[in-house]
């Protein structure tokens, strides 16, 4: 069968004006890989503003990947404007579909919507493209005789190492290899995923999968060796929602890739690292860890269900510095309950880290409306900022200018509805798929 998979082009919220792309659409890349491996002909098509009227005649099946609420309107427009042959199987999936499968089924006039992990699902749906009988396919919604039918949930794969490598060859090379995304360096790099899911219950995050699935070290090495040979990479960024959870799994990956000579970065909570693990990571080439600090206020951390403290934040930054790894912290400003006092807390917390935070970078995600805030040490720009606003589908705004700050910090600056622009203003995250995706 001939299959087209559509994905929305997503720009980094903090660099929206520059139209800086985020990491590749891994969900679509994995679906394309398994579909190709099953013998189907696959193409990946980008959907972007001004590029929604696609001609997909000649395809037997078309899949819409719905990354977030922020791009849902764009994908609906593509569904309305795209030309398909009569009888084409229309499917949908992705993060937004996982939360609102019934609405997606109706809005897209889809034949079937996948809810959850879909590498096996897509192959079974293609097997039933001729008869449209999806009753035996787990993890889907479809309509029959005017009724919406939900099949039993599909169990998660026990071993994601069995999956083929993402079908990067179906995307332009410039979407894969980047030189401005690794810890503020110009390293020639690519993005990878080594795990899925996150077991923690942070209230601001839309990651629904609580069970962790890790790839083994051997699998990670095979992919990185391929990226070296095929794309000439010198580094990589792990874009997993929370890579550092299972220390044994992380150690296995680090041990397997240490001799490849690559520089890399990953995301983590502040309470899942220890000195021994950080040393192991540093020895394998890790140059930066991006921590979800979120707030310096104990009250807000509890409200966010982070279950962390200022002491744990300081300890993580200090251990990271001691291991020779740089730290970058994510801060959420304007979370419900934010006030002037809690706004100042990140500043005090960063300052208490002393010299360990001197080279720390900072990304501030702001929710609207938010109170005025005061500059934090890790967010004070050394150059006068400029700013712009770009309206997003959810009604939030995205500020796009990034200026280098003292000590290697990064600031996101933009106008606020409550007075002049503060130095710690950041990218305005929308109520979409997940927490901030500024993963450079």
Q: Model pTM?
A: 0.81
Q: Is 422 domain-assigned?
A: no
Q: Is 113 domain-assigned?
A: yes
pLDDT tens by residue, 286-298: 999 999 888 888 9
Residues 325 and 193 occupy one common structural domain: yes
Q: What is the CATH number of the domain that holds 398?
A: 3.20.20.70
* Coil, strand or helix at 341: helix
- Report d(CA 348, CA 26) in Å as an integer: 38
Residues 244 and 128 occupy one common structural domain: no
The full DSSP string for 74-101 is HHHHHHHH-B--TT-EEEEESHHHHH-H
Residues 223 and 357 occupy one common structural domain: yes
Q: What is the CATH number of the domain that holds 80?
A: 3.40.50.280
- Report d(CA 439, CA 104) in Å as an integer: 28
Q: Could you tell me the residue range of the domain that residue 61 belongs to?
A: 2-146
Residues 137 and 194 occupy one common structural domain: no
Residues 140 and 184 occupy one common structural domain: no
- Between helix 26-37 and helix 119-127 the angle, nearest 10°, is 50
Q: Which two tokens stand for residue 322?
A: 């001691």
Q: Is 152 domain-assigned?
A: no
* Coil, strand or helix at 385: coil
Strands 410-413 and 195-196: unpaired
- Report d(CA 427, CA 12) in Å as an integer: 9
Residues 142 and 290 occupy one common structural domain: no
Residues 47 and 109 occupy one common structural domain: yes
Number of H helices, E strands in the chain: 11, 19
Residues 235 and 369 occupy one common structural domain: yes
- Report d(CA 423, CA 383) in Å as an integer: 11
Of 97, 126, 146, which one is at a domain's C-terminal end? Answer: 146
Residues 107 and 185 occupy one common structural domain: no
Contact 68, 433 (CB under 8 A): yes
Q: Look-up: residue for tokens 């099949």?
A: 151
> Which positions of the chain have pLDDT values less than 70?
11-21, 346-360, 362-440
Residues 28 and 97 occupy one common structural domain: yes
* pLDDT attached to residue 402: 27
Q: What is the 8-class DSSP label of residue 165?
A: P
- Report d(CA 384, CA 108) in Å as an integer: 45
Bridge partners, 5 (sequence order): 44, 63
Q: Is 277 domain-assigned?
A: yes
- Report d(CA 42, CA 61) in Å as an integer: 10
Instruction: Name residues whose C-beta falls within 8 Å of residue 269's C-beta, 6 or more positions apart in sequence.
Output: 200, 242, 244, 245, 291, 292, 308
* pLDDT attached to residue 393: 24
DSSP-H helix ranges across 292-376: 298-303, 310-322, 340-352
Q: Is 108 domain-assigned?
A: yes
Q: Look-up: residue for tokens 């900072």?
A: 362
Residues 132 and 183 occupy one common structural domain: no
Q: Look-up: residue for tokens 């109170």?
A: 371
Domain count for the chain, please give it. Answer: 2
* Coil, strand or helix at 195: strand
Instruction: Name residues whose C-beta falls within 8 Å of residue 109's C-beta, 6 or more positions apart in sequence.
Output: 79, 90
Q: Is 169 domain-assigned?
A: no
Q: What are phi and psi of 51, to 5 degrees?
A: -135, 65
| End-to-end CA gap in the chain | 37
* pLDDT attached to residue 209: 80
Bridge partners, 394 (sequence order): none
Q: Is 153 domain-assigned?
A: no
* Coil, strand or helix at 144: strand
Q: Which two tokens stand for residue 5?
A: 């998979």
Distances in Å between the Cα of 290 and the Cα atoms of 182, 344, 410 are 11, 21, 13
Q: Is 171 domain-assigned?
A: no
- Report d(CA 33, CA 31) in Å as an integer: 5
Residues 140 and 281 occupy one common structural domain: no
- Report d(CA 247, CA 218) in Å as an integer: 16
pLDDT tens by residue, 134-192: 999 999 999 999 999 999 999 999 999 999 999 999 999 999 999 988 988 999 999 99
């Amino acid at each position: 069968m001939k299959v087209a998979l559509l994905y929305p082009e997503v720009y980094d919220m903090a660099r929206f004006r520059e139209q800086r792309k985020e990491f590749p659409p891994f969900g679509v890349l994995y679906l394309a890989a398994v579909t190709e491996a099953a013998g189907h002909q696959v193409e990946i098509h980008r959907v972007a503003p001004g590029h929604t009227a696609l001609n997909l005649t000649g395809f037997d099946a078309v899949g819409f990947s719905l990354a977030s609420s922020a791009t849902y309107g764009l994908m609906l427009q593509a569904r309305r404007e795209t030309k398909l042959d009569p009888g084409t199987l229309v499917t949908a999936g992705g993060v937004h579909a996982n939360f609102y499968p019934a609405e997606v089924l109706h809005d897209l006039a889809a034949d079937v919507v996948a809810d959850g992990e879909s590498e096996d699902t897509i192959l079974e749906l293609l097997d039933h493209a001729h008869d449209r009988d999806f009753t035996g396919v787990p993890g889907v919604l479809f309509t029959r005789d005017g009724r919406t039918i939900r099949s039993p949930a599909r169990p998660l794969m026990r071993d994601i190492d069995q999956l083929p490598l993402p079908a990067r060859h179906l995307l332009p090379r410039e979407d894969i290899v980047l030189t401005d995304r690794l810890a503020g360096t110009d390293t020639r790099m690519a993005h990878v995923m080594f795990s899925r899911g996150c077991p923690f219950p942070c209230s601001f995050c839309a990651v629904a999968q609580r069970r962790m699935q890790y790839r083994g070290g051997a699998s990670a090495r095979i992919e990185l060796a391929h990226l070296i040979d095929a794309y000439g990479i010198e580094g990589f960024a792990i874009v997993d929602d929370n890579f550092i959870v299972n220390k044994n799994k992380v150690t296995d990956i680090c041990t397997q890739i240490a001799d490849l000579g690559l520089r890399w970065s990953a995301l983590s909570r502040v309470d899942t690292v220890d000195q021994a693990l950080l040393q192991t990571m540093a020895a394998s080439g890790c140059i930066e860890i991006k921590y979800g600090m979120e707030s310096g206020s104990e009250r807000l951390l509890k409200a966010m269900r982070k279950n962390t403290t200022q002491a744990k934040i300081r300890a993580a930054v200090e251990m990271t510095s001691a291991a020779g790894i740089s730290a970058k912290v994510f801060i959420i400003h304007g979370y419900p309950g934010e006030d002037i006092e809690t706004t100042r807390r990140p500043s005090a917390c960063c300052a208490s880290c002393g010299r360990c935070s001197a080279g720390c970078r900072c990304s501030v995600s702001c929710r609207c409306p938010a109170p005025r805030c005061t500059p934090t040490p890790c967010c004070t720009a050394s150059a006068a900022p400029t700013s712009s606003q770009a309206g997003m589908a959810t009604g939030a705004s995205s500020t796009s200018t990034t200026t280098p700050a003292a000590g290697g910090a990064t600031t996101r600056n933009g106008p606020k509805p409550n007075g002049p622009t503060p130095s710690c203003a950041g990218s305005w995250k929308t109520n979409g798929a997940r927490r901030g995706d500024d993963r450079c």
